[in-house]
Structure 1
């Protein structure tokens, strides 16, 4: 029988003092916890150190993909479990992960079903469940791409195995903070598309915005999530509007500068 593999839980953080304790408590059973902090001004690093995590600090922000890969480089375990501070590993998911460590297969990566919290409700529809994300994988075989936002693990055609149990994700427990984060994501998305030469007209802004609402509310059965489902459909439409309107503004500014 092969020896049980070691697990490194890896997080990137910045000002996560409020959310971090429960996240770290949910993975206190791991062989190692690695935290790469991007200049927090609160107690994030102290909280991580108190939880016996190995804490490192970066002085710049290269984007999510590169930052995750930087954090992974500090890990020493055979397997990586990549988490965010607003996520919690449930007991069933813990058992599934421990089973993988006892019988590993480096040729595959493992996905978790996220249960996303939106304004006090763990959503069951609206495209927010099961919201599978690949988070468990062999450290030496896989790495993150360099995208500044919506980064992903480069799996090189590896098989994906779904783990039992849920990963709780406190996506939106504070609406203003969630909206500010969405605005930053929208700007990063627009700037990356602008850099790639993408163009956007007013018709695209309108169609994508209304399409995002209808997709969440009707096609993904957001109406079954009650009031939160309707609000999420509006938020998704707003986020989509911000993405395409920002891209249009960048294109427009470029044309003005060329005159």
Structure 2
């Protein structure tokens, strides 16, 4: 299908050598591709330099909301497709995106449901079965909330919609990879809580991680995902514990 309405595809990256080539090829239908890279050290920048249709900007990482808002400002076209390096669009989703932007709509932003994969295994439960995220929107109708520095949320000026077809999310290459991600997100979340004056206590260290595990593994059926489900639910709970461990460090250091 011919795309007469131009689309800007945006990515923020850091050390994505395992994904970068595949994702760039996956979004090659876009009229421009802009990558804001947090100064990768694993060969991501060198691989990006091989693509003549990609504009790469090196920028120090502050937090996810800040990086995404910066990337938004680099887009030349009214419609923006924001994608992470470990996400892939199916052919049906690509066609739906092109059809959507080429037809009149009063919807400012569209969400997409993501299908999760852990070490190439489809994860159907473990808390991921209802995951949706904003990925397609009109550039001048969206801004990421600055004080929401992790699991960043866009502020939408207008109506929201949801696309029919799913996106694939190859988010965890290994248990060690997932653990590193959880620690990174937890550190940022701890900083967010610290700025709000929050202080951890025994409830946060004991009950919150336990609750997270039980909800995802039992009530959200993580046990049906087998060994991978247990690993994911355990590491999600570990991420909660790590968040409050980092928050305690921040509060303790402020007393010195």
Tell me if TM exceeds 0.5: yes
Work out the CA distance in 1 between the residues paired with 2:250 and 2:41: 32
Q: Please name the residue that 1:138 is paired with.
A: 138
Shift of 1:68: 1.0
Q: Please name the residue that 1:105 is paired with.
A: 105
Structure 1: 5+ residue stretches without partners? none
Shift of 1:23: 0.7
Counterpart secondary structure, 1:176: helix
Aligned ranges 1:49-64 → 2 under 5 Å:
49-51=49-51, 52-58=53-59, 60-64=60-64
Shift of 1:197: 0.5
Q: Please name the residue that 2:214 is paired with.
A: 214
Aligned ranges 1:1-259 → 2 under 5 Å:
4-51=4-51, 52-58=53-59, 60-146=60-146, 147-156=148-157, 158-254=158-254, 257=256
Work out the CA distance in 2 between the residues paired with 1:191 and 1:232: 24
Shift of 1:254: 4.1
Cα deviation 1:100-136 (Å, max 9, x = unaligned): 1111425431011111112331211122124100110
Work out the CA distance in 2 between the residues paired with 1:15 and 1:211: 32
Counterpart secondary structure, 1:154: strand
Shift of 1:43: 3.0
Work out the CA distance in 2 between the residues paired with 1:250 and 1:40: 27
Work out the CA distance in 2 between the residues paired with 1:140 and 1:192: 26
Between stretches 37-46 and 118-127, larger displacement belongs to 37-46
For the 8 Å contact 1:106–1:137, the answer to whether it is kept is no
Work out the CA distance in 2 between the residues paired with 1:221 and 1:243: 24
Shift of 1:75: 1.1
For the 8 Å contact 1:11–1:83, the answer to whether it is kept is yes
For the 8 Å contact 2:190–2:243, the answer to whether it is kept is yes
For the 8 Å contact 1:34–1:55, the answer to whether it is kept is yes
For the 8 Å contact 1:35–1:56, the answer to whether it is kept is yes
For the 8 Å contact 1:106–1:141, the answer to whether it is kept is no
For the 8 Å contact 1:106–1:138, the answer to whether it is kept is no
Work out the CA distance in 2 between the residues paired with 1:104 and 1:13: 32
Aligned CA-pair RMSD: 1.8
Change in CA separation of 1:198 and 1:33 when aligned onto 2, cut-off 3 Å: same
TM-score by length of 1: 0.90
Work out the CA distance in 2 between the residues paired with 1:36 and 1:244: 30
Structure 2: 5+ residue stretches without partners? none
For the 8 Å contact 1:65–1:145, the answer to whether it is kept is yes
TM-score by length of 2: 0.91
